[in-house]
Amino acid sequence: MIDGARPAMIDQAVAEGRAPCLATLIERGSYSREAVAAFPSVTPVCSATIATGLGPDRHRIPSMNWYHRAEGRYVEYGSSFRASLRFGLGRQLTDTIYNMNGAHLAPDALTVFERLDDAGLRTAGTTYLIYRGRHLHQPASDSALARIAAFALVRRPVMGPRELFYADIFSSRDTGCRSTLGMPGVRDRHAGCVGDYLVRHDLFDFLLLSLPDNDNHSHKLGPDSQVAAIAHADRQLARLFEAAGGADEFLAGHAVIVVADHAHTLIERTVSLGAQFSGFDVRRPTDLRALEPAQIAICPAQRAAMIYVFSPATLARVLARAQRIDGVEHVIWREGAEAIVARGGAQLRFSPGEELSDLRGRRWALSGAREVLDLRVRHGTVRSGEFPDALARVWDATACETAGDVLLTAAAGVEFADWGGAGHVGGGSHGSLSAGDCNAPLICCGLEGGLTREQWSIADVTPLITRHFGLD
């Protein structure tokens, strides 16, 4: 999993000879440049979709930042260091390391690790947000990051794959590999080092090799700067190939899937939703008051956002204000059995029905302005080039019981500043419904059947894996 990789940048890295392992996999396998991400197209949501094969309606991870209605507080998974400080670094670490898997991810949303563990297969994973499996792991105590984590109350064991390497906090065995505090720029090397060790010692039937550094690289330097980071990720794949004796030997014994969780688009300016809703009683990160019905909770997540509305009387005001904000592209909410998407003064209503089929076979009934989601209908099939698989992704996002009452997407070039005031102006970001944010690469090598559908999704990864092992 190469975090945030754009298909165009994969293609460029291959064309320039800087990603020979990816070139080999593409040449010998199948390649889709339009595997659509979940919505919101941010890492926690998409990581959960990749690892479970389910949308947010089923796995219940709604965004990067969200409001926990039952606990009366915000959940922050690490939008930025400043945002983490605003919510409390210990709280953020606990939510990300423990609660995301142990409490927030739906218990019945089985992960790929759980499914393969249950089948008696040897599972392994490097640092990845969704790691839940059937094997108990105690926190490590022999690294600086482990000691810092322990100070921040990260002291409990977790359930993960048979071999779990999560930064330096959890290590199922001593590989000699260190993640140096899990900092960006060294995480890929840690994954490559662990992968090399696991191949040499034949310790897995399934390995989720997470290569996250490209995402941070793109956030800082922009979506067109990814070639160097992709080349670095490719070098970690090469370490696994070399550990087996070369590409031919590795691929003779392993099938490989390469996927990104989302893509990136260029950010030119930020919008502060707190400022835009200054006329409302906005719940603050450190607000200790009892929740009042007139309050709202604002949850920015890069190029998407959610607003939680605790009184029906406030909803109309929130919707009216949201549709007047310069920089907001879509305003999305549920009304009865329908989802509603507003854009530029027009509205589209839809629900599951028999009127039209999408490219993935789900069926819908529509009314209103189809141009809101750039929908085109031909021979009874609806599609959108600008907002791929938008109907299903919007429906699943609004059906998520932990999601906000109103969802927003940002217009081209715009990002919503997080609770720490941070953004990525001049760099890349993601989160919206747009193709630029959500069309991810999907490469399969050594799997039967190839990639023959017209529309693939990151949700197809776990089904491809379980089918390969004969579990479907």
With a CB cutoff of 8 Å and minimum separation 6, the contacts of 233 are 2, 5, 19, 188, 211, 213, 214
Give, rounded to a whole angstrom, the gap between the first and last alpha carbons of the chain: 23
What average pLDDT does range 79-103 have in this prediction? 93
Percentage of residues in the chain with pLDDT exceeding 70? 96
140-to-164, 167, 410 alpha-carbon distances in Å = 11, 10, 41
pLDDT at residue 434 is higher than 90: yes
What confidence score (pLDDT) does residue 143 get?
A: 54
Q: How many CB atoms lie within 10 A of CB 202?
A: 10
Q: Supply angle C-alpha 279, 39, 381, rounded to 5.
A: 120
Residue 43's pLDDT band (cuts 50, 70, 90): very high
What confidence score (pLDDT) does residue 199 get?
A: 98
Please say whether the beta carbons of 117 and 135 come within 8 A.
yes
pLDDT at residue 197 is higher than 70: yes
What average pLDDT does range 215-236 have in this prediction? 96
d(CA 283, CA 308): 10
Domains along the sequence of the chain with CATH: 7-264+436-468 (3.40.720.10), 269-429 (no CATH)
What confidence score (pLDDT) does residue 472 get?
A: 81
256-to-1, 10, 30, 200, 259 alpha-carbon distances in Å = 11, 16, 11, 17, 10
What CA dihedral angle connects 223, 187, 60 and 282, to 10 degrees?
A: -70
What confidence score (pLDDT) does residue 289 get?
A: 85
What confidence score (pLDDT) does residue 452 get?
A: 86
Token pair belonging to 221: 């330097």
Q: For residue range 379-430, what is the model confidence (pLDDT) as tens digits?
A: 999 999 999 999 999 999 999 999 999 999 999 999 999 999 999 999 999 9
What confidence score (pLDDT) does residue 154 get?
A: 60
Q: For residue range 5-39, what is the model confidence (pLDDT) as tens digits?
A: 999 999 999 999 999 999 999 999 999 999 999 99
Residue 310's pLDDT band (cuts 50, 70, 90): very high
Q: Supply angle C-alpha 468, 471, 472, rounded to 5.
A: 90
The total number of residues shown for the chain amounts to 472
Residue 288's pLDDT band (cuts 50, 70, 90): confident
350: left (phi over 0), alpha (psi -120 to 50) or beta: beta
Please say whether the beta carbons of 231 and 409 come within 8 A.
no
Q: How many CB atoms lie within 10 A of CB 379?
A: 5
Residue 121's pLDDT band (cuts 50, 70, 90): very high
What confidence score (pLDDT) does residue 17 get?
A: 98
Helices (runs of H) and strands (runs of E) counted in the chain: 17, 25
Would you say the C-alpha torsion 238, 241, 247, 253 has a positive or negative sign? negative
Please say whether the beta carbons of 73 and 295 come within 8 A.
no
d(CA 83, CA 80): 5
Q: For residue range 328-348, what is the model confidence (pLDDT) as tens digits?
A: 999 999 999 999 999 999 999
What confidence score (pLDDT) does residue 306 get?
A: 98
Question: Rounded to 5 degrees, what are φ and ψ at 37?
Answer: -80, 170
